[in-house]
Amino acid sequence: SQQGEEDPQALSIQEGENATMNCSYKTSINNLQWYRQNSGRGLVHLILIRSNEREKHSGRLRVTLDTSKKSSSLLITASRAADTASYFCATGRGGSYIPTFGRGTSLIVHP
């Protein structure tokens, strides 16, 4: 069963703009991760945020987590054509080491 749901399903922007993707989930979590998948390839881990954290940065990525709203957002600043990919959130629950993936947001960055 899928826990996280990304929004929007698809996003198209120009190079240099910021891209924001959101993830909502239903039950309480102990961490949330974001992954990127380039077309036809495996997923690559981007960032993990724990339930007691509110914001985390990694290079041009900024992730926020609002456990009261059961939602997270991924912001990519100054996007590049190479950021074109699908982005997935994955939630970790309780003592489980198995994240549950959402359906993903497809991001296209036009040069």
Tokens at 104, concatenated? 């993903």
Q: Which is nearer to another protein, 43 or 74 (CB)?
A: 43
Among 2, 27, 28, 58, binds another protein (CB under 8 A): 2
Distance CA 88, CA 72 (A): 11
65 touches another protein (CB under 8 A): no
Neighbours of 97 (CB within 10 A): 5
Length of the chain (residues): 111
**Selected binder of another protein within 26, 45, 57, 80 (CB under 8 A):** 45
CB 84 within 8 A of CB 97: no
> What residues line the site for another protein (CB under 8 A)?
1-2, 31, 33, 35, 40-45, 48, 88, 90, 92, 95, 97-99, 101-104
